[in-house]
Amino acid sequence: MLEKVGNDVGALTNKVGTIVRQVGTDGPPTGTIGQIRCGCNVTSGPLVCFPGWTGGHDGNGFLDTCADVPLASCGPTSNWWMHEDGLEDVDTPLCGGKFKVGDAVFANTTNPSGATNLKKGMIGQIYCGASGLPPIGVNWGTGYTGGHDGNTAVCSTGTNMPLSSDTSNYYVECDEISALATTK
């Protein structure tokens, strides 16, 4: 998560270049991936560039409030000043650094963790790291219907990836999945 400095709620220290995910409702759609372009706008938080999103602005003339040298704009309408509560660092490691939320994975065993009709090789996306066991929440897509609604109350990393249906999600053990590709 993003780090507060001192007692000033608005004073944030953010590393320019950090990849983040929108978890709030202000600005780009929830789940959108972006990069911190400028750290520390005292009233709003960091300026985040969300490539491909066009509902934002160019920084609204407030780049002089940056506590660092801002990254170049990713577009005149792809930037948004974000509050810290609306962002999550996507590099939060899971399974000892093997995975993180957003990674594409495949089941390397049939019916992992007791799932019903979840075939070996099925592809999914990690939507959260759980505080219980098994620890990895995977959304297996609309082609899988033997799961649950996500049971996101046990997510310790937050549930920040969109879920495709009420029955397409299942928690699995770290060794029951393998990375297909990562969001690094």
**DSSP string for residues in 22-40:** E-SSSSSPTT-EEEEEE--
Q: Which numeric CATH code is attached to 1-90? A: 2.30.30
In this predicted structure, the answer to whether residue 147 has a pLDDT above a threshold of 80 is yes
Fold of 93-181: SH3 type barrels. (2.30.30)
Residue (of 61, 59, 68) closest to 40 by Cα position: 68
pLDDT digits (tens, 9 = 90+) for 86-129: 887 766 678 877 888 878 899 999 999 999 999 999 999 888 88
Q: Which residue stretches of 101-159 are H helix?
A: none
Gap between the Cα atoms of 14 and 59, Å rounded:
16
- Tell me if domain 1-90 and domain 93-181 are identical in fold: yes
Structure tokens at 170: 């299942």
In sequence order, what DSSP letters do the residues of 102-118 get, joined into one string?
A: T-EEEESSSSGGG-SS-
